[in-house]
Structure 1
Amino acid sequence: MVSSIKRLLIGRPLKSTELGEQKLNKTKALAILSSDALSSVAYGPEQILIVLVTIGAAAFWYSIPIAMGVLILLAALILSYRQIIFAYPYGGGAYVVSKENLGVNPGLIAGGSLLVDYILTVAVSVSAGTDAITSAFPVLHEYNVPIAIFFVFILTILNLRGVTESATVLAYPVYLFVLALLILIGSGLYQIITGGVSPELSAPIGTPVAGISLFILLRAFASGSSALTGVEAISNAIPNFKEPAPNNAAKTLIAMGILLAALFSGIVCLAYFYGISPREEVTVVSQIAEEIFGRHFMYFFIQGTTALILILAANTGYSAFPLLAVNLANDKFIPRMFTIRGDRLGYSNGIIILGLSSIILIIGFGGQTEHLIPLYAVGVFIPFTLAQTGMVVKWIREKPAGWQTKLCINTLGALISFVVTIVFFLTKFPQVWPVIVFLPIIIAIFHQVNRHYVSIGEQLRIAQSMEKTPIEGNVIIVPVAGITKVVENSLNYAKSLSPNQIIAVNVSFERDAEKKLEEKWKNWQPDVRLVTLHSHYRSIIQPLTKFIDTVEHKAAENNYCVTVIIPQFILKKGWHNILHNQSSILIRAILLYRKNVVITTVPYHLKK
C-alpha cells in the first residue's frame, strides 16, 4: 500500500540512463531558478519606501537614485556570477569559489549561509504567499500555518517527481506574474507620459529634505537590496541545465538579470510618480495596481499572480539546496546521504530535508516569518561578498586574458556587497544577530562531520604494509530458548559452517527447567554441546554477553573467530510482532558493539 501511494505521488522510478531527460532548457530554468529573485520585486521597492517614510513623503524621490544603486549592484552580481558559471561549471557557486580561493572556512561560511538561507527561502516565501491569500479571504487567516504547510508539501512532492515535471508545472505562474507586472508597468508609464498622473503626487527629484542622512540612505539601499536574493541560485544549479550547461546557465542568468532590473525599476518609478506610501495593510504593488486599473479584473489578476509567485519563490530553494548539499557532501562536510539520487533521479534526501526544515520554521514562528526577511537577506549577502572576493583573488593569482576587466567587476561587486552586509548588521542587528551565533555552530558541525569521515577512511583504508592475522578456525555460539524448529534450522546452518565447534547456549531462570532441557538435548542433539547459564536476576543479555566475551577472549589466543548465530522466527503478519518479546533483535543490537564477534541471523518463516 505504501509503495502504491509513493508511485501515485512521485511516479514511476526512472532509469539512470534517463538522467539527460531530467535536464532543464533555458525557458523552464528561467522560471524555476528565477522565481525567488523575481518575486522579491513584490517587496524590494517597498522596503526602500519603508525606510524613507520615516523622514517624510518628500524623501521618496531618493528611491530613484537608491534603485539605480541597487541596479548597479545587480549588474555587478550578474556579471560576476556569469564569470563564476564558466570558471566553475559543475555548480556550487559561492561555496566552491570561496573554498578554492579563500580557504575552507570561508567556503563553509558561504555554504552554511546558503543552506540556511534556502530553508528560509521556502519558509518565508510560502508564508508570504499564504498571507496574500488569507488577506484576500480573511476567514482563512486562522489557518495560516496549515495552509503554508500544505503548500510546502505540494512543492516537495512536485520536486520529488523530478526537475522537469516541477518546472513544467511551475513555469506558467512565473511567466504570468512577469506578464502581469509588465502590463502594470507599461500601463502606468503610459499614463505618466500622456499626463494622466498629476505631478503634484510626488516631490520633484532634487527637492531638499530635512533630516536625511547618509546612514538612512545606506539603510534604504540595504533594504532595497533584499530584492537581489536568489540571484546566486543559477550558479549553484548548473548541473540541472541541458548541455552545453554553462552556456545555457549564463544566458538564463542574463535573462533573469534583465527581467529583474526592468520589473524592479518599473515598480520603483511607478511608486514615485503615483506618490505611493507604504501601508501596513496594503502592499505597494497592490496600491499601484488599484491606482492604475481600479478594483477590476487586472487588479485581481496582478494580486493573484503575485501571491502565486511568492509561494513559488520557494522552488528556487528546492532547486539550489540539494545541489549545494551535494557539493558539501562530496567534500565530506555533511552526510553522504545528500549525494544519493531518488527514484526520479533528483537528490530526494536534500528535497525532503529542506521541506521538513521549512515546515519546522513555519510552525515555530506561527507562519509569521516577516521578521526573518533581514536574516534571510544578510544570509545571501555574506556569500555574495565571499564569492566576489574569491573571484578577485582568482583573477589576481591566475591573470587570464582580460583579467583586468573581470577584476574590476568583481572588486566593485565585493565592495558593494560588503557595504550592504555591514549596513544590515548596523541597522538591523536585533533581527540578524542569530547569524553571528549560528554560523560558528554550523561550521563546527561541518568540521566534526569531516573529521568523522576522515577518521573512518583512515581506519578502512588497506595499507600494503599491514600485517594480516589469519583466521585459523571458527567457534559458533547459538543462543537457544528451547527445542524448536527455529533452533533446529539454525543448528543445521551452523553445522554447515563448522560442525565441530558449535556451542548452544541457554539462559534459564529456573533450575528444574535447566535439567529438563539438558536431558532432552542429549537425546535430540547429542553431537552439539549445550551450555546452560543460570540467571539470578532474570536477565538474558548479561549472562549471555559475559559468556560470549569469555569464549571470544580464549578464541583470540588461537586466532579463532567467534560467530553468534541468532535464531529468529519471522511472523507472517506484521502486527503479530507485538505479541512477542523480540529477544533476538535485542541480542543482535547488543552484540553489534562487540569488536571481534560476527553476528548472523537465521530466519525461520512461519506460514500462518
Structure 2
Amino acid sequence: MQESVTQAATTDQSQEHQPGRGRLGPLLCWAVVFADIGTSVYYTPGILYVTVGKLAGFFVLLTMVVFVLLTLKYAEVSARFPQGGGVVSVAAHALNPWFGALGGMFILVDYFLTAALSCLSGIFYFSVVFPALGPNALWITIAVLTLLGILNWIGITESATVSLIGALIAFVSDLAILVTVFSHISLAEALHLFASMFAGNAVTPVKLLVGFGGAFLAFSGLESISQLSPVMKTPRKKVAGLALLLVVVTIGLTSPLLTTFSTLLQPQEATDPLKNSQLVSLLAGHWGNIWLQSEVAISASALLVFASNTAIIGAYHVFMALSRMEFLPSFVLKRNRLRGTPHYSIALATGVPIVVLLLVHGQLDLLGDMYAFGLLGAFSLTCLGLDVVRWRERQAARNRAAALAELRESQQNGHVSREADLALTAESGLVLNGHHGLQSSQQSTHGEIVESSERSYEGWRGLWYTIDFYLGVITTFLVTLAWSINLVAKPLATAFGGSVALLGMGVAFYNYRSHRLMGRLPVPVTTIEDHLHGSILAVLTANNPHNEDVIRTALQSADGRPVVFLYVGEPRVARTPRLFEVVDPYLEDEQAKELFGKAESQARRAKISTRRYVYRPYEPGTIARVWQIVHPHDTIVPADEVPRIEDINPDRISYEISPGGGMQVAHMVKRW
C-alpha cells in the first residue's frame, strides 16, 4: 500500500550547511520560546489554585520532570523536520496525513486559547496599575485582539530581537521577585513554607492525577521550538538542544518557586476572583515595593499581549499549511492585494479567540480549564509520532546489522552475498533514532564497514540511543496519561476542543472528497530509505508536457511491481523564512501536487498496491541520487530529459514512440 508519510528533509543543501543571515542561534531561539512559556507563570498559579489549592507549586514541580523529558523529544523534532510544522509534520510523517490534520486541529485549539487567555491575563495585569480597566477587561481584550489582527493584516511580523528584549525583562523581573522574597524569609522559613503545602492536604491518587494533568498549563509554549526549525541555524539539533537547555534552566528557576510563593504567601488573594489573576505582580508589591509591583505588572502585560500575537501568527500559519496539504479550502491561502497578507487566515486566527472570550464571559479560570485538550493532545501526538519514527529506524538498523553479519560470514567462507552487499551502499547507512552511525566512504572495504557499524550499534552510542528511545516511550506514556486525565476531569476542555477538532476534520474530509470527485487526490510525499528491487521509477519534471505520458507508461509497465513517482521541481530560491512559517517546497508547488494527485487516482484504478511519491527541488545529480537509493528495474523519463540526466548507467535505453511519431518517453533499464 502507499506509504503516507511526509518527507522530512526538504531543505536545500546550501541551507543545511551554511547558517545564513537572519537565522536564529540558541539565544534567540530561547528568547522566542521563553517569551511564550515564560508568560504561563503569570496565570497558572491562580488557575491551578482553584483546582488543587495550596498544592499548586508542588504539582508544577512534579510536572517539571516530564517537561524536561519533553524538551529532549522536541529538540529532536526540530532537527528531523527542518520544514517546521511541529505536530502536523511529525504525525503526518510517522502515522498518516490524516493524523497530521488532526495534530493541526489540536495545535489550533491550543493557539486559539493561548491568544484569548494571554491577552485577557495581560489586561488583568495592566489593571494593577490602572484599576479602572478591571471591570471592562473583556471588552478591552477584544479590542486588543482586533488590533493585533489588523496589525497582522498590515504585515507586522514577529521579531526574535523583540522577543529577546521581552524575555530578558521578564526573566530579570522574576529573579528580582524571588530575591526580594528570599531577603525577607530565612531558609528555614522557606522549607517550613514548602512543608505547609501538605498540611491538611491528603494527596489522594485522584488528586495526584488531576493535579499532574492540570499543571501542564505551566509549560504551554514548548511546541513553538518546533515551529522555529526553518529559521534556525545549523546544526539544528545542537541549536535546539542549547536553546531548550536554557529554557529548562530559566523556567526551572522561576516557575515552581513563583507558583509556590504566589499561592502560599497570598492565600486571600489566591481565592479572590480578580486578584488571583494578578498574583505574581501582587507578590512583588507585597514583599517588595510599589515600583517593583508596577514594573512586573507592565512587563507581564506587554509580554502576555506579545504571546497572544505569537499565537495568532502561529495559528494562521497552521491554517495555511493545512490548506496547502489540501485539508482546508484554498480560500484560506488568498492574500489581499493591498498588503499581500493572508487575510482570511488572519481573520480566523483572530476571530475564534474573540468568540471564545464572549462564550466564557471573560472568565480566566474557564479559559484555563479549556486549555488542556489542545496542548496535551499536540504533545501526545508529537511524542507518539516520534516514537514510531524511532522504532522504524531501529528495525531498519537491525535488518542492516543482520545483513552485515551475513556479509562477514560470507567473507569468511570466501564468497559475498549480493543481498548483503547491497545493504552496504552509502544511501542505506545505519540509522538509529535519526543519527547516522555509519558514514562510509566509497573507498572503505566491506570489513571496515562491518566494524564501524558494530561500534555504532553496540557501543556507548548505541546504548544511549536505546536509553533515549525508552525514555521517549515513557514520556509519551506520561503525557498521554495527563491528556487522558484531563479528558475526564475537564469536560469543558473536552467539549470545546473536541468540537473544534471534529469540525475541522469534517471540513478536511469534505475538502478531500471534493478533490477525489474531481479526479485529483491529495497526496503526501514519502521518504525512500532503502531499495525497492524490481520497481518502476517514474521521473516527472517541472513544466514538461510529457509528464502525463510518463505516468501512464509507468502504470502500464508496473505489472504488480512497486512504482515510485519522483517529481523534480524548480530550483529553490534561497530566502530567510518568517517566524513560525512552514517551509515545505512541495506544499507550494501546485503542479507537483496536481500531477501526484492524478498519478494516485490512476494508480488506484490500476490497483498498484505499492506506490510512493518523492519530491525534490532541482539540484545537480538529484535524479541519480534517488535512482541509487531505489535501485529500480526501469526508470521512465520524458525523452527530452535523457541527455540531461547524469550519473545513471542503465544497461539499455529504449524509447516509446507516440501515435504522432515523436519520441515522448524513455525507458532506462537496469539489472542490479
State the TM-score, normalized to the length of structure 1: 0.64
**How far does residue 307 in structure 1 lie from its aligned partner after superposition?**
2.1
Q: Distance in 1 between matches of 2:313 and 2:239?
A: 16
Closer, same or farther in 2 for the Cα pair 1:23/1:202, shift >3 Å?
Answer: closer
Q: Secondary structure at the match of 1:458?
A: coil
Residue 37 of structure 1 aligns with an amino acid whose one-letter code is I
Query: In 2, Cα distance between the equivalents of 1:386 and 1:409?
Result: 16
Matches within 5 A, 1:248-327: 248-271=239-262, 274=265, 276=267, 278-280=270-272, 281-283=274-276, 284-294=279-289, 296-327=290-321
Say if 2:213 is the partner of 1:213.
no
The alpha-carbon distance between structure 1 residues 349 and 28, as it changes in their structure 2 partners (threshold 3 A), is: farther
Q: Which of 396-405 and 109-118 deviates more?
A: 396-405
- SS of the equivalent of 2:520 reads helix
Task: Identify the match of residue 95 of structure 2 among 78, 91, 102.
Answer: 102
**What whole-Å deviation, never above 9, does each CA across 1:447-505 have from its counterpart, x for those lacking one?**
21123234446399995599xxxxxxxxxxxxxxxxxxxxxxxxxxxxxxxxxxxxxxx
Instruction: Let me know the Cα RMSD of the aligned residues.
Output: 3.6
Q: Which amino acid aligns with 1:258?
A: V
- Do the aligned residues in 1 keep the contact of 2:372 with 2:493 (CA within 8 Å)? no
2:351 maps to 1:356: yes
Instruction: Report the CA distance shift for 1:149/1:243 in structure 2 as closer, same or farther (over 3 A).
Output: farther
Q: What does the per-residue CA deviation read over 1:19-46, in whole Å, with 9 as the maximum and x for residues that have no partner? A: x876555544443443331111112244
Residue number in structure 2 paired with 1:149: 142
Matches for 1:6-17 after TM superposition, within 5 Å: none
Give the letter for the 2:482 counterpart.
V
Aligned to 1:113, the other structure's residue is in SS state helix
Which structure 1 residue ranges, 5 or more long, are not aligned?
1-19, 54-59, 467-608
Instruction: Letter of the 1:42 partner, please give it.
Output: Y
Change over 3 Å in CA distance of 1:236–1:447 after alignment to 2: farther
Q: What aligned pairs does 1:139-538 form with structure 2 within 5 A after superposition?
A: 139-159=132-152, 166-169=159-162, 171-193=164-186, 197=189, 203-204=195-196, 209=200, 211-241=202-232, 247-271=238-262, 274=265, 276=267, 278-280=270-272, 281-283=274-276, 284-294=279-289, 296-338=290-332, 349-368=344-363, 370-399=365-394, 400=432, 402-456=464-518, 458=520, 464=549
Equivalent residue, structure 2, for 1:14: none
Q: 1:89 to 1:409 in 2, by over 3 A?
A: farther
Count of paired positions: 439
| Matching residue's letter, 1:419 | L
State TM-score, norm by structure 2. Answer: 0.58
User: What's the CA shift string for 1:505-540, capped at 9, x where partnerless?
Assistant: xxxxxxxxxxxxxxxxxxxxxxxxxxxxxxxxxxxx
Instruction: Summarize deviations over 1:163-193 as a string: whole Å, max 9, x none.
Output: 7664444543333222111111133234434
Contact 1:44–1:223 (Cα < 8 Å) also in 2: no
Q: Secondary structure at the match of 2:294?
A: helix
2: CA distance, partners of 1:241 / 1:465: 38
CA shift in 2, pair 1:120/1:204, >3 Å: closer
What residue in structure 2 maps to residue 39 of structure 1? 39
Q: Distance in 2 between matches of 1:392 and 1:308?
A: 38
Aligned mate of 1:121, from 114, 126, 130: 114
Moved more, 171-180 or 273-282: 273-282
Kindly state the Cα deviation for residue 372 of structure 1 after the two structures are TM-superposed. 2.4
Query: What amino acid does structure 2 have at the position aligned with 1:238?
Result: S
User: 1:397-454 CA deviation, whole Å, 9 max, x = no partner?
Assistant: 1111553223223212211111111221222224432333342232121121123234
Q: Say whether the 8 Å CA contact 1:94–1:383 is kept in structure 2.
A: yes
Q: Is the 8 A contact 2:138 2:361 kept in 1?
A: yes
Could you tell me how far apart the structure 1 residues matched to 2:550 and 2:385 are? Answer: 42
Q: Pick from 69, 75, 79: which aligns with 2:72?
A: 79
Paired with 1:243 and 1:41, the residues of 2 have a C-alpha distance of 31
The answer on whether the counterparts of 1:163 and 1:346 sit within 8 Å (CA) in structure 2 is no
Alpha-carbon contact 2:116-2:354 (below 8 Å) kept: yes
* Counterpart AA for 2:391: I
CA distance in 1, matches of 2:219, 2:315: 17
- Aligned-partner SS, 1:91: coil
Are the aligned partners of 2:79 and 2:236 in contact in 1 as well (CA < 8 Å)?
no
Please say if residues 44 and 225 of structure 1, whose CA atoms lie closer than 8 Å, have aligned partners that are also in contact. Answer: no
1-structure distance, mates of 2:233, 2:343: 20
Residue of structure 2 equivalent to 1:131:
124
Distance in 2 of aligned mates of 1:202 and 1:250: 32
- Does structure 2 retain, via aligned residues, the 8 Å contact 1:125–1:310? yes
**2 CA distance for matches of 1:27 and 1:245?**
13
**Distance in 1 of aligned mates of 2:361 and 2:196:** 43
Tell me the equivalent position of 1:56: none
> Distance between the aligned counterparts of 2:341 and 2:232, measured in 1?
13
Q: Quick one: distance in 1 between partners of 2:46 and 2:250?
A: 18
Q: Which stretch shows the higher mean deviation, 455-464 or 249-258?
A: 455-464
**Are the counterparts in 1 of residues 213 and 485 from structure 2 also a CA contact under 8 Å?**
yes
Q: Distance in 2 between matches of 1:395 and 1:245?
A: 18
Confirm or deny: 8 A CA contact 1:276 1:287 kept in the other structure: no
CA 1:100 to 1:194, structure 2 compared with 1: closer, same or farther past 3 Å?
closer
Query: Distance in 1 between the 2:69 and 2:79 partners?
Result: 16
Q: Compute the displacement of 1:141 (Å).
A: 3.9
Report the 3-state secondary structure (helix = DSSP H, G, I; strand = E; otherwise coil) of the residue aligned with 2:275. Answer: coil
Amino acid paired to 2:226: S
Contact 2:169 2:299 in 1 (8 A): yes
The superposition leaves residues 559-599 of structure 1 with CA deviations (integer Å, 9 ceiling, x where unpaired) of: xxxxxxxxxxxxxxxxxxxxxxxxxxxxxxxxxxxxxxxxx
Distance 1:275 1:139 in 2: 23
Whole-angstrom CA distance in 2 between matches of 1:254 and 1:346: 35
SS at match of 2:215: helix
% identity of equivalent residues: 21
- Worse-superposed segment, 454-463 or 422-431: 454-463
* Stretch deviating more after TM superposition (274-283 or 422-431): 274-283
Higher helix share: 1
Whole-Å Cα distance in 2 between the matches of residues 177 and 147 of structure 1? 23
Aligned partners of 1:459 and 1:84: how far apart in 2? 28
Distance 1:145 1:287 in 2: 21
Question: Could you say what secondary structure the match of 1:186 adopts?
Answer: helix
Does the Cα contact within 8 Å between 2:153 and 2:341 map onto a contact in 1?
A: yes
Contact 1:124 1:373 in 2 (8 A): yes
Change (3 A) 1:396 1:243: closer
Q: For residues 315-347 of structure 1, give each alpha carbon's deviation from its aligned partner in whole angstroms, at most 9, with x where no partner exists.
A: 331342233334322321123455567888876
Cα displacement (A) at 1:273? 6.8
Change (3 A) 1:193 1:273: farther
Give, as a single letter, the amino acid of the residue that structure 2 aligns with 1:233: S
Q: For residue 75 of structure 1, give the secondary structure of its aligned residue in structure 2.
A: helix
> Partners in 1 of 2:203 and 2:26 — Cα distance?
44
Counterparts of 1:339 and 1:258, CA distance in 2 = 39
1:247 shift after superposition: 4.6
